[in-house]
């Protein structure tokens, strides 16, 4: 697949950076090049190795382990299943997602809301299309805990939160700061709007609505862009659009004391 060939090339360039310092490297994965799983009224497009789809060059991007675009027919869903040692972030695009988990939490997630489940010690949950007549489309993103969190012998119980995002259009919103250096951003854009993404570290951007241009590359709905190195990344909306972008800040080299005066 052309998108994953570009990704493998990006990974090679990232590992082989010269001593002159980092530079921005960009790779695009087109919507139709993502892995697809179809079963029982559910179609899933995977941006990473997942389930039966395995590619040793595409198992993670920083702490990001999965970005699954789920399309559920009316009444379809996932029966109770378990996750552990993972942070799960859910973003509904169309329809309504009914959720119930082993913490006793149950509810419905709709467009404009974000849900975060921290499942370090493990959690079982059920997810279904809440409608008997309308389809459901959502993104489910999974991230690994930090090394320090994984080393903690007492991770504590699962934690759950869900909230509305009432942001204005035309600028970059901070949706979720998972921990230091790991942030999810979103932007709701009108045609011609421009937003600048963080200039350091890694970026994983997915177009969830519309069409945008990123550093000369046109991305349609479902397309993914991954960036490594440092440098500006500007997103221009070609039509009314929505983007989600994970930012993984560059790690400081040992001995680099940012607080020194």
- Whole-model pTM: value is 0.86
What is the average pLDDT across 111-116? Answer: 90
pLDDT at 155: 75
pLDDT at 217: 96
pLDDT at 7: 53
pLDDT at 22: 55
- Contact present, 1 and 47 (Cβ < 8 Å): no
Question: Which band of pLDDT confidence, cut at 50, 70 and 90, is reported for residue 165?
Answer: confident
Question: Mean pLDDT score of the chain, rounded to an integer?
Answer: 86
pLDDT at 223: 97
Q: 109-144 in b/e burial notation, b at 16+ Cβ within 10 A?
A: beeebbbbbbbbeebebebbbbbeeeebbbbbbbbb
**Between 239 and 254, residue with greater pLDDT:** 239
79: exposed, middle or buried (C-beta count within 10 Å: 0-12, 13-18, 19+)? exposed
Give the span between the Cα atoms of 125 and 255, in whole angstroms: 43
What is the average pLDDT across 64-87? Answer: 92
- Check whether 132 has a pLDDT greater than 80: yes
pLDDT at 249: 95
pLDDT at 148: 83
- Check whether 120 has a pLDDT greater than 90: no
pLDDT at 256: 44
What is the average pLDDT across 36-45? Answer: 94
- Chain segment 166-223, per-residue pLDDT in tens: 777 899 999 999 999 999 999 999 999 999 999 999 999 999 999 999 999 999 999 9
In this structure, of 113-127, 183-197, 226-240, the range with the lowest mean pLDDT score is: 113-127
What is the average pLDDT across 96-100? Answer: 94
Question: Which band of pLDDT confidence, cut at 50, 70 and 90, is reported for residue 10?
Answer: very low
The label of the residue with tokens 């560059």 reads: 250
């Amino acid at each position: 697949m052309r998108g994953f060939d570009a990704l493998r090339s990006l990974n090679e360039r990232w590992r082989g950076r010269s001593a002159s310092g980092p530079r921005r490297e960009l790779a695009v994965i087109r919507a139709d090049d993502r892995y697809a799983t179809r079963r029982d009224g559910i179609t899933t497009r995977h941006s990473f190795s997942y389930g039966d789809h395995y590619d040793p060059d595409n198992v993670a991007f920083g702490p990001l382990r999965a970005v699954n675009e789920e399309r559920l027919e009316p009444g379809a869903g996932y029966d109770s299943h378990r996750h552990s040692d993972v942070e799960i972030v859910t973003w509904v695009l169309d329809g309504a997602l009914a959720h119930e988990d082993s913490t006793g939490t149950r509810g419905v997630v709709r467009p404009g809301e974000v849900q975060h489940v921290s499942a370090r010690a493990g959690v079982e949950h059920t997810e279904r299309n809440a409608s008997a007549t309308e389809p459901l489309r959502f993104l489910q993103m999974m991230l690994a805990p930090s090394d320090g969190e994984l080393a903690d012998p007492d991770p504590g119980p699962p934690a759950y939160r869900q909230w509305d995002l009432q942001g204005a259009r035309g600028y970059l919103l901070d949706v979720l700061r998972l921990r230091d250096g790991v942030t999810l951003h979103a932007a709701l854009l009108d045609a011609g709007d421009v937003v600048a993404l963080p200039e350091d570290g890694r970026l994983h951007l997915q177009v969830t609505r519309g069409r945008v241009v990123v550093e000369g590359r046109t991305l349609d709905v479902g397309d993914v862009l991954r960036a490594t190195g440092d440098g500006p990344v500007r997103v221009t909306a070609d039509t009314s659009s929505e983007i989600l972008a994970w930012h993984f800040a560059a790690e400081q080299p040992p001995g680099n004391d940012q607080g020194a005066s």
